[in-house]
């Protein structure tokens, strides 16, 4: 039985994993003849695992993924999609993030680009990288609001402190051209700090049309395209498949 004073001190020190391990295994451990040193080692491992899990949960909460349950182990490798395990394993180790590279996931609407981006982001969280997910239109809205409130400097600092920035559905809807300099600054800083993952159904050759200022377009594209890997998903829309199944059932 754990002394109340010991329990109180462990709670004050926020050693939650250690405390749970002591309460659950102390009697059994010593009954089995384990040494105090082995028991201490066991409890410390429990505390480290608990802290790691809490950090991962915190990273997931901060990322705000569109598909929070997306995982790489659930990827559909149907032949028509033309993606392989080798393709995915290339990015699952997150070395490209350490190298401050980009990843562009392209394909027609509905083929699973956003889902895959969230699954790669989830893997990054599990590897203790901090991630931020934005739909492109939402990102531009956030930039606009930050400028209006005089908080754009803080917003840029917040975004560019992340190791992986995900911009989903880039090229859809356009954006206010007055936001272009701030967007360039974000892309520039992020390209020096970590990885950028972009999904788009718009062909890359048309990305320049998003910008009226060609010098800004060149600068943004230079930081994205020249240091990015490409991953294209083919096949029919998942939404079309679901609709077809409902019609035949």
Query: CATH 3.40.50.300: which residues of the chain?
Result: 64-240
pLDDT for position 40: 74
Give the separation between CA 64 and CA 118, rounded to whole angstroms. Answer: 9
Structure tokens at 66: 């569109």
Give the separation between CA 169 and CA 91, rounded to whole angstroms. Answer: 20
End-to-end Cα spacing for the chain: 59
- Contact present, 208 and 84 (Cβ < 8 Å): no
pLDDT for position 50: 80
Tokens 């032949």 belong to which residue? 79
Give the separation between CA 236 and CA 234, rounded to whole angstroms. Answer: 7
Q: Return left, alpha or beta for 57; rule: phi > 0 is left, psi -120 to 50 is alpha, else beta.
A: alpha
Which tens digits make up the pLDDT trace of 164-222? 999 999 988 777 889 999 999 999 999 999 999 999 999 888 888 888 888 988 998 89
Write down how long the chain is.
Answer: 249
pTM higher than 0.75 for the full model?
yes
Give the separation between CA 209 and CA 174, rounded to whole angstroms. Answer: 9
Superfamily name and number for 64-240: P-loop containing nucleotide triphosphate hydrolases (3.40.50.300)
The DSSP element (H or E) to which 17 belongs, if any, is helix 16-31
- Residues 109-128 as b/e (b if ≥16 CB within 10 A, e otherwise) read ebbbbbbbbbbbbbbbbbee
10-residue stretch averages of pLDDT, the chain, 249 residues long: 68 72 67 68 76 89 96 92 92 96 94 96 96 96 96 94 96 84 94 96 86 88 90 78 47
pLDDT for position 236: 76
CA distances from 211 to 170, 175, 181, 217 (A): 12, 9, 10, 6
């Amino acid at each position: 039985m754990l002394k109340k004073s010991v329990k109180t001190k462990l709670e004050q020190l926020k050693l939650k994993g250690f405390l749970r391990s002591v309460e659950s295994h102390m009697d059994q451990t010593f009954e089995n003849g384990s040494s105090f040193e082995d028991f201490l080692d066991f409890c410390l491992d429990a505390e480290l695992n608990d802290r790691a899990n809490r950090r991962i949960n915190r990273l997931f909460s901060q990322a705000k993924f569109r598909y929070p349950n997306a995982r790489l182990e659930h990827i559909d490798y149907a032949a028509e999609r033309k993606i392989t395990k080798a393709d995915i394993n290339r990015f699952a180790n997150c070395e490209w993030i350490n190298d401050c590279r980009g990843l562009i996931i392209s394909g027609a609407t509905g083929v699973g680009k956003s889902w895959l981006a969230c699954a790669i982001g989830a893997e990054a969280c599990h590897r203790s990288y901090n991630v931020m997910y934005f739909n492109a239109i939402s990102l531009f809205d956030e930039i606009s609001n930050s400028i209006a409130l005089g908080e754009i400097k803080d917003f840029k600092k917040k975004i560019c402190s992340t190791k992986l920035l995900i911009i989903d559905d880039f090229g859809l809807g356009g954006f206010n051209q007055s936001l272009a300099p701030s967007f360039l600054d974000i892309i520039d800083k992020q390209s020096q700090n970590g990885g950028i993952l972009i999904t788009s159904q718009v062909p890359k050759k048309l990305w320049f049309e998003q910008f009226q200022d060609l010098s800004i377009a060149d600068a943004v594209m230079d930081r994205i395209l020249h240091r990015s890997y490409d991953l294209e998903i083919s096949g029919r829309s998942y939404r079309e498949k679901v609709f077809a199944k409902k019609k035949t059932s």
